[in-house]
Structure 1
């Protein structure tokens, strides 16, 4: 049934072809285990950013590999942020921040759709969350060197990553794992433009378009 739905979606929206090709390769190559969850080289004092913390599963994975890592979890959804604070209450090296990072101070309206909660296509009864400039956040937290940054923010990457690039902060990030989301055809070129700029300081270690990709500082 899922395969039929994907086939019908692709017939109606051929611009999603790159996404579905990436998804197929991701599954065939078991990339979640063979590429994504490869954190054995993190140093003991690694500073890690979990941007889009949701229920904290990714932070759990990092801490299981490197228990002394300093992990900053950013989760603007108030219910998820509250649950994360409870979950990590006894882990002083995991710090939860209940706001989003972006290009400027402001707010965003989130749909309340679990792990797909997004500022794209707001719905009735949606939630309002604060946005803080990424440059100010880096300065306040003293983030001079980030060993690993994971970004999964349901479309917010198209604001956050250009802000990181414009502020000159990308060279501070040794390793970036990002999931670009494909909500409309125009985002294909938007992603291409961001990747071209990332390529000025980082190499693409691996890529499954609109699924996950990783960039490493040269």
Structure 2
């Protein structure tokens, strides 16, 4: 299947996310045709598109995106490119039913989060800058940029990320995952993908014990890696999953990492 040319808010973000999504299919995570996939923190649907392409359209995707500008684009992508196989849900996931303020960055939507606001955005921008600089130094943009001295790179990237100062606040709905599984009649989750910019534990705490056996695999991007890695891993390990916690040098610079969880065969 050809690569889907998704509608986007910022085209550069689709290209950036396309480079990332392959890393989710590692450490034992596999999908077979007919799978049901939950894309939590979908943005405009780049991960969903990668799954759809990988399974040649034989998949059922539930994509969660609470921010109205992103959800509108996700819903449009679902209509135009997914042949009815993607359901775009206009809310986020959390430990309980609630409404939260989300910060939305129009020029860099991938950093939008309920955990970022005007009070911490400067610190967040420094953290993201460190990650991007490390990626460039390791050849992520080719050999030429990797030879630029780190202080100069930090200045260039920092200036580019000033767009994170432009933010809007949206009041959005969040729901526990168990309520959604019941409402949508989802009996099996072949892959739970979570990328929610800091709210990972809230998402996982919204899944009741009665529903955990339905989850076969999960991949969670964890922010605050040193603080939260073990907690996220323990949630899966105590429920019968084999867990691998993985962090590369670029992720280390941003204090993030990935937890892969595959249910152990009985």
TM-score range, shorter chain: 0.7 to 0.9
Q: TM-score, structure 2 length as denominator?
A: 0.63
Matches of 2:29 and 2:218, distance apart in 1 = 15
Matches of 2:257 and 2:29, distance apart in 1 = 22
Is the CA contact (8 Å cut-off) linking 1:135 and 1:167 kept in structure 2? no
Task: Tell me the residue number matched to 1:37.
Answer: 25
Matches of 1:158 and 1:120, distance apart in 2 = 12
Which of 217, 220, 240 is the equivalent residue of 1:178? 220
Matches of 2:205 and 2:29, distance apart in 1 = 29
Closer/same/farther in 2, CA of residues 97 and 130 from structure 1, 3 Å limit:
same
- Residues 67-103 of structure 1: CA distance to partner in whole angstroms, max 9, x if unpaired? 1100010000110000111112142111100101111
Matches of 1:157 and 1:140, distance apart in 2 = 22
Q: TM-score, structure 1 length as denominator?
A: 0.75
Matches of 1:177 and 1:41, distance apart in 2 = 11
Matches of 2:262 and 2:74, distance apart in 1 = 28
**Match runs of 1:160-171 below 5 Å:** 160-164=203-207, 166-171=208-213
- Cα offset, 1:198, TM superposition: 1.1
Q: Does 1:63 align with 2:39?
A: no
Q: Over aligned residue pairs, what C-alpha RMSD do you find?
A: 2.4
- Cα offset, 1:161, TM superposition: 1.2
Question: How many aligned positions are there?
Answer: 183
Matched residue SS, 1:89:
helix
Which of 222, 238, 242 is the equivalent residue of 1:203? 242
- Residues 24-79 of structure 1: CA distance to partner in whole angstroms, max 9, x if unpaired? xxxxxx9964x523599422211000001112111110000111100010000110
- Cα offset, 1:150, TM superposition: 0.8
Q: Does 1:216 align with 2:262?
A: yes
Matches of 1:197 and 1:212, distance apart in 2 = 14
Is the CA contact (8 Å cut-off) linking 2:65 and 2:91 kept in structure 1? yes
- Cα offset, 1:172, TM superposition: 1.4
Closer/same/farther in 2, CA of residues 75 and 31 from structure 1, 3 Å limit:
closer
Matches of 2:21 and 2:40, distance apart in 1 = 18
Which of 37, 51, 54 is the equivalent residue of 2:40? 51
Task: Tell me the residue number matched to 1:107.
Answer: 99
Which of 64, 67, 70 is the equivalent residue of 1:74? 64
Matches of 1:106 and 1:167, distance apart in 2 = 20
- Cα offset, 1:205, TM superposition: 4.1
Structure 1, unaligned runs of 5 or more: 1-29
Matches of 1:40 and 1:120, distance apart in 2 = 28
Task: Tell me the residue number matched to 1:94.
Answer: 86
Is the CA contact (8 Å cut-off) linking 1:108 and 1:119 kept in structure 2? yes
Structure 2, unaligned runs of 5 or more: 1-18, 119-166
Is the CA contact (8 Å cut-off) linking 2:100 and 2:173 kept in structure 1? yes
